[in-house]
Structures are given as C-alpha cells and as structure tokens.
Chains A and B, each alone.
Chain A
Amino acid sequence: MIAMFAITLYYMRKVKLPFVRRVPALDAIEEGIGRAAEMGRPVIASPGIAITGIDYWTVGALSILTHVATLCARSDLRLLVPLGGSEQSYTLVEISRDIVENQYRLEGNPERYNVDDMPFLSGRQFAWASAYVGMLMRYKPAVNVMVGLQWGSAIYIAGVSHEAGSFTISGSDYLANVACLAVASDYVMIGEEMVAAGAYLSKDPVQIASIRTQDIIKAVMAVLLLLGILTLTMGSDIVKVIINT
C-alpha cells in the first residue's frame, strides 16, 4: 500500500503527459451531448443510488456528473438528474444539485439551471427506477448517462432508454450488472474506468499520471498472478510465501 502511494505520488509530480489507453464510454459522453444539441433534446444523467453511502463509485459518478453538467451548460442544454433510489441517497441529492448548479454558474449560464430538473424521486430503488423511466418516456432525452451504484433496476432503465431512442452510456459497480448493461447499452464502463473518470476527463497530466500508475500496478499483479499459477502448477508455493511475508 505504501509502495502504491509512493509510485502514485511520484507519477503525479511528473508533468509530462503519459500514455493512457482510451476509454470509449467516457469519450462517448461528449459525442452524446453533441447529439443532444443537434436534436434539441435534453440530457439525462444519474449518479446512481448510493446504496452504500458516498463511496468511491459514487465519487467517480459525481466526477462524471460534473463533466456532463459542464458540457450541458456550455451547449445550453437542459440536464435532467433523477435522484434517490435508496435510504442512503438523501445526501447525494444535495451534493448533486450543488455540483450541477455550480457548473451552470461557472459556464455563465445560471438561468438554465432548474432545481426541478433534479428531483428526488423516491428512497426505494424500484420506485425510483419507475419514476426514472417515466422521465425517459416523457422527455425523450437524446443521451442517458447512468453511472455510480446501479443495481437490479439498471437493466430496466437501460431497456426503456433504448425504447425512448436515447443514446445510453452506463457503468455499474456490480459485475453481473455490467454484463447486463453491456448488452443493453451503447457504451459501458468496466471496472476502474468509472472511478478513473475524473482524472481521465480532466486531461490534467498530474491526474492522468495516477491512472498510469494504476495500470503499472495492474501489470505487476498480472505478472504475479501468472507466476503464481505457473509455480503452483509445478508444486511450488514461492509466490504465495513472498506475498504473505
């Protein structure tokens, strides 16, 4: 853990832009909002249901919401944000409203922000999902960005989003759901792509360096995994012993 902190901080101090692989789902957000501007239709974005409170998935989702709000404010687009979905989501409601209002103000378009476009729908997951799909059907948004903690209701929302003709970009913390969303969405974020969104979208060399560190550590772990498989197959547990010490 200490080594990881050290490597991350070292890379974050380096100013040159390291190579980071493309994340199509994050790149597609701009494309989707461009589509909304061309069609004159609103954008809908959800930071998830925050069922476990404001954890790292929700922090990643808030970074994406900030990016979406900035692009919507710049393009003078209406942004709908269905909030709620769990008994832990009440604080997320206020945080999300504050973030979106800030972005509209910072982009010089405060009159476009409407708190009624960011309703608290329900503290229950499926009631929230029903109200979310109601918004999809009523407003026919051009793009639907659903990230953060998206549980069982995600496939329902993504299905209706397809029916409503929305371009769907999704992400989830829950692996079985990622598989469902992969078949139901136009683009899906897998694994750490959602939590890395803030750094990736900022295009800030210092932040992108932290993604690079993450990739390096993943490569080291992959090598260790392969070595472990090979040595265990040959009857030696040397890698296990090294990791345990």
Chain B
Amino acid sequence: MSAFIRSREFLLTIIVATSFFIYFPYFVTSPEPLPSIESWLVTTTVVIVSFAVLVSLYTMTRREALRVTKRGKGWPYGLIMIGLTWFMIIVGVISGSSADAFRFCTDAFILPGDATIYAILVFYLTSAGARAFKLKNLESLVLMIGAVTVLLKQAPLGEYLFPYIGPVGSWMVNNVGMAATRVFAISATLGGIVLAVRLLTGKEMAMVGLLSRRKKD
C-alpha cells in the first residue's frame, strides 16, 4: 500500500487531477460539481495548513525541550523560546489576540526584534557592496561605474558636485534598470509556465522526492 501511495503514477494522477479541478473552473464557466470540488479542494488546503501548524509547533517544542534537557549549546535560549511561545498560545487561546498580555508580548518582544534585524540589513548591504565594488575585471568595472553613478545621483551632494550625474543616473535607472526588470519578469513567468508543463506531464517529480528513484528505474 505504502509503495503504491509513493509510486510515480499515483502522485502524477493526484497532480493532474488536482490541477484540473482547480484550473478548469477558474478559466471556464463549468457546471456542478466542478465548482464545488474546486472550493472543497481549497478548503482542504486550509485544513492541511492548520494541521501543519500543529505539527510544526510540536517539532519546535520537542527540539528545544531536548536541547534544554541535554543542556545543549545555547539551551537557555531554548527555554525562553518554549516559555514565550506557550505563554502566547495560552493567552491567545484564553483571551484572544487583542488581550493586553498578548499585545504586550507582541509590542515588547516581536516588533523590536523585527525592527532590529531590519536595521542591521543596511550594514550588511554596505559591507557586501564594498566587497563587490572591488575592481577585478571588466564586469566589475561596469558594475562599479553604474553603482557609483546611481549612488551619487541619490546623494544630496552628488548633483551639486557633478551636474551631469542626475540625468545620467536617471537614464540608467529608467532605461537600463527597467529593461533588466522586464527581462527578469518575462523570463521568470516563462520559466513558471514551462515548469507547470513539466509538472503536468510528470517530468518534474523532484518536488515529490522522486528524482533519484526515476533515475534508478
């Protein structure tokens, strides 16, 4: 039974059938029961996600509890995480997410944490930029010229010191940058469509973990 459930044919049938019931009523006005099956599949997805939340919570608690009991590296952080997670769950379940204690935890721990990490990004970006703008070859020279031009355009003193930087920088953003954005969007969309064709024809089975099995077959 297990071998049948994990077989390529069974998984492919599920993929094709699910895609049909989701996409067909979306593009074509369909008679019953197709719209009902579509909405049932969407509801099922929500139910699966809800159970996945419980599984994730269980594995997270188990992992941190093991770390604390074995006194693994950084175990006090695990203790804090378990304590805060379960405190928020209990408060949320009993009093709802608008309760004072729940909001206190959000305002005192979660939001400052998020803001701190967000602020750190600027320093990492600057450091990465400094490493990348080293002159090594022709490509790095082009990258450096482009980056310095756009940086000077954005800086308050840039246009004052170099009057031509503004128009040149704007041209680079509106033409070169925009062209790159369009190329990225078009190629990504094409890639997505071709991936969908591969999935629907059973060629792309890596996402269900069948890459090696197919090769061995």
Contact = CB atoms under 8 A, between A and B. Distances in A.
Interface in B179-206: 180-181, 183-188, 190-199, 201, 203-204, 206
A184 B128 contact: yes
Interface residues of A, number: 76
Nearest to A5: B197
A207 B74 CA distance: 45
B117 A129 contact: yes
A99 B198 contact: no
A188 B117 CA distance: 23
Given A119-B59, A180-B125, A192-B191, A199 B198 contact: yes
A63 B186 CA distance: 21
B60 interface: yes
A8 interface: yes
B192 to A, nearest CB: 4
Given A67-B211, A198-B204, A210-B203, A56 B191 contact: yes
Contact of A155 (B59, B121, B201, B206): B121
Contacts of B142: none
A88 B191 contact: no
Contacts of B60: 119-121
Interface in A131-162: 134, 138, 152-153, 155-156, 158-160, 162
Interface in B30-66: 48-49, 52-53, 55-56, 59-60, 63, 66
Residue of B124, B131, B191 contacting most chain A CB atoms (<10 Å): B191
A230 interface: no
B118 interface: yes
Given A5-B197, A88-B49, A94-B55, A218 B186 contact: yes
Interface string B203-217: 110111111110110
B184 A8 contact: no
Contact of B53 (A90, A162, A193): A90
Given A90-B49, A106-B216, 6 more contacts: A103-B212, A155-B125, A192-B194, A196-B194, A199-B204, A213-B194
